Amino acid sequence: MTTIKGPAIFIAQFIGDAAPFNSLESICQWAAGLGYKGVQLPTNDTRFIDLQKAAESKTYADEIKGIVNAAGLEITELSTHLQGQLVAVNPVYDDLFDGFAPEHLRGNPAERQKWAIQQLKYAAQASKNLGLNASVTFSGALLWPMVYPWPQRPAGIVETAFGELAKRWTPILDVYEENGIDLCYEIHPGEDLHDGITYEMFLDHVKGHKRANLLYDPSHFVLQCLDYLEYIDLYHERIKMFHVKDAEFNPTGRQGVYGGYQNWVNRAGRFRSLGDGQVDFKSIFSKLTQYDYKGWAVLEWECALKHPEDGAREGAQFIKDHIIRVTERAFDDFAASGSDDAFNRKTLGI
């Protein structure tokens, strides 16, 4: 077994225009001061990393890595959540998702998609240059407007959509294979890959691609009323990344899973800072350790109530307290009687 690495922090929710959140160097110093050992980097803000440059220049990648290492941290993974979202967009969401793309591509879905696909490929190459082994993204969604079948979905539309997803993602996954990087889909509402069944459907369509793996985030499963512990039993061989994020689901007589169009504060299902929600992290860390998860435990802070800096400070200690330092021997070794093959055969009477 392997001791899970961490604590680490995904800095996307903390980036801003004021120090220490406005440069890679200062945000790394801030994170290290809280006790973090790693940072997960978003790739849509060139103040923190120029993705194309990191893909094309090992020297530049080494410079980025050096800035992080100088603070006593490691880069855990790169994130292409926003770019991955643009690989597959149902037309109903075109205007809403345009903000994820460079301004000159807005209003041009075809060119926006080409840009997003190239971004994913750059992330594979940049990850290799940085010495990483995994990266996280979203799948995008063609079917999400039809997640609830009313009006009834046209016959065959699900198969058509997943066929198209596979057509778009397979060449990207092949680039990740060429670079030795696992591409981990964050299973998330709003994406066509939003639970175990949809991931299995996608995996079938990409012919079980070796690099089509998973980021595990239990918070999204609490809000779906999905068994997030059995999920680890089912998919542990594909789980290569881990977001440590808490959530709670408190249905009432007035609202449930769909939330009644309320804001995050007033929803039955809410993301919470670590320790403030309902996720059983002791069991999660135990299961991941049992299955020899070899990656990082990365805080993703999202909470409608608590200040982010308090969530980050508390989260570092929370993760540290939950990481299980694996044992190097069996607990009952003290009672071992010792044996060899002859002894074993005699004991069995054979």
Other CB atoms within 10 A of residue 274 CB = 25
Mean pLDDT of 203-223: 98
CA–CA gap between residue 140 and residue 167 (Å, rounded) = 13
Q: What is the pLDDT of residue 41?
A: 98
d(CA 25, CA 14): 14
Q: Is the pLDDT of residue 284 over 70?
A: yes
CA dist 228 and 85 (Å) reads 23
- By three-state DSSP, how is residue 284 classified? helix
pTM across the whole model: 0.95
Note the pLDDT tens digit of each residue in 73-113: 999 999 999 999 999 999 999 999 999 999 999 999 999 99
Chain mean pLDDT for the chain: 97
| 52 pLDDT tier (thresholds 50, 70, 90) | very high
pLDDT at position 335: 65
- Residues of the chain with pLDDT > 70: what percent? 98
**Is 124 in contact with 179 (CB distance < 8 Å)?**
yes
Domain boundaries, the chain: 5-348
Q: Which tokens is 326 given?
A: 């694996």
Distances (CA, A) of 237 to 13, 64, 212, 231, 305: 29, 31, 11, 11, 35
Q: Does domain 5-348 match CATH 3.40.50.720?
A: no
User: What is the band of 331 on the pLDDT scale with cuts at 50, 70, 90?
Assistant: low
Read off the tokens for 16: 């801003």
pLDDT at 198 over 70: yes
Confidence at residue 336, expressed as pLDDT on a 0 to 100 scale: 72
pLDDT at 332: 67
Strands 134-137, 5-10: parallel, antiparallel or unpaired by DSSP?
A: unpaired
**Cβ atoms of 206 and 167 closer than 8 Å:** no
Residue 18 has pLDDT above 90, yes or no: yes
Q: What percent of the chain has pLDDT over 90?
A: 94
Position 334 scores a pLDDT of 64
Across the range 299-313, mean pLDDT stands at: 98
> What is the pLDDT, as a whole number, of residue 47?
97
Say what the pLDDT of residue 212 is: 99
The predicted model gives 281-306 an average pLDDT of 98
The tokens for 155 are 């016959």
What distance in Å separates the CA atoms of residue 222 and residue 44, rounded to the nearest whole number?
Answer: 28
The pLDDT tens digits of the residues spanning 120-168 come to: 999 999 999 999 999 999 999 999 999 999 999 999 999 999 999 999 9
pLDDT per residue as tens digits for the range 239-263: 999 999 999 999 999 999 999 999 9
Confidence band, pLDDT 50/70/90 cuts, at residue 347: confident
312 DSSP 8-state letter = H
pLDDT tens for each residue of 20-40: 999 999 999 999 999 999 999
